[in-house]
Amino acid sequence: MPTKPAIARIWRGRTRRDRADEYEAYNRREGVPPLEKTALGVQLFREDSEEETWFTTISYWADMDAMTAFTKGDPTKVHHLDRDAELLIELPERIEIHRILIDRQGLR
C-alpha cells in the first residue's frame, strides 16, 4: 500500500509579470524535478495579475524526517534556487508546513 502524505510543505514567491514565463520555465527545470524524485507528490501553481505573478509550490511528505532528509537540515528553512535573487521580486523568508487532516482526491 502506498504511503499517504501527512505533511504539506508550501513555498510561495512572486515575480514581475514580464519575468513570469522565464521563472516558470526555470522553476519547472530546476525546482520541481528534485521534488518529483523524493516527495510523495508535488504541485506547482501560478497566479497572474497585471503587474506580478505568484508561484506556489506544494510538496507532500510522509513525515518531518522525510522532509529533513530532503532539505539536509531544517525543513522550515527556505532553500532558494540559484537564480531566485535575480528573478523574484523578493526572496521568500518562510516556508509553511501544514499537517494534512483530510486527503480526498478524485471524488467525482
Opening angle at CA 76, ends 9 and 48, nearest 5: 50
Q: Which residue shows C-alpha cell 534556487?
A: 81
pLDDT of residue 2: 62
Q: Is the separation of the CB atoms in 64 and 75 below 8 Å? A: yes
Residue type, 40: L
Where exactly are the structural domains of the chain? 7-99
DSSP class of 102: -
Summarize the confidence of residues 55-60 as an average pLDDT. Answer: 97
User: Which CATH entry fits the domain spanning 7-99: 1.10.390, 3.30.1490, 3.30.70, 3.30.450?
Assistant: 3.30.70
Q: What is the pTM of this model?
A: 0.91
pLDDT in tens, 13-24: 999 999 999 999
